[in-house]
Amino acid sequence: MRQTEFINVVMPFKDKLYRLAKRLLVSREEAEDATQEILMKLWAKQDEMGQMRSVEAFAMTMTKNFCLDRLKSKQATNLKLVHSNYRDEKTSLQKQLEAQDSVSWVERIMEELPEQQKMVLQLRDVEEYDFEEICEMMDMKPTAVRVALSRARKTVREKLLEKHSYGIG
């Protein structure tokens, strides 16, 4: 595989790799480093790419495993889950603050989820992968993915309802 072919295959999903790394690691710099590391590993495996069913699924799995290894390493004792805040310049300051507060609450709730539920929720609802791809990336059966996603969504929904209806009624 030549460089141009590699770029045409890998670059369309490079941002997804970054977003997954950003979800799992503490900072933008850590996520950028992880993404670059994965791209270098993919380049080293360029000869094997022709035999892969989904290079994107393989790369997402590599990213997940790399980030989880980083989180488990001794040098990463202070890393935690984060999510970039969404900013829209056209909305009012009040709406921006409300959106920021909602994102912040969802982040806190997601931090409390079990690791598997956290990953399935990220891959399905944020990255918008279909169930078959998630099964392949997470090495899970379809039923297990659906159950983990359902439980994660239910927990997030219940905690948000609890937060918003606190003190009412």
* 90-169 CATH, one of 3.40.50.970, 3.30.413.10, 3.30.1300.10, 1.10.10.10: 1.10.10.10
For residue 87, the SS3 value is coil
Instruction: Name the band, by pLDDT with cuts 50, 70 and 90, for residue 103.
Output: confident
Q: Where are the domains of the chain?
A: 1-82, 90-169
Q: Where are the beta strands (DSSP E) in the chain?
A: none
pLDDT digit string, tens, across residues 108-127: 888 888 989 988 988 888 78
Asked whether 152 and 126 are in contact (CB, 8 A), the reply is no
What percent of the chain has pLDDT above 90? 17
CATH number of this structure's domain 1-82: 1.10.1740.10
Tens-place pLDDT, residues 10-29: 889 999 999 888 888 867 88
Average pLDDT for the chain: 81
- The C-alpha atoms of residue 76 and residue 119 are separated, in whole angstroms, by 19
- Whether pTM > 0.75 for this model: the answer is no
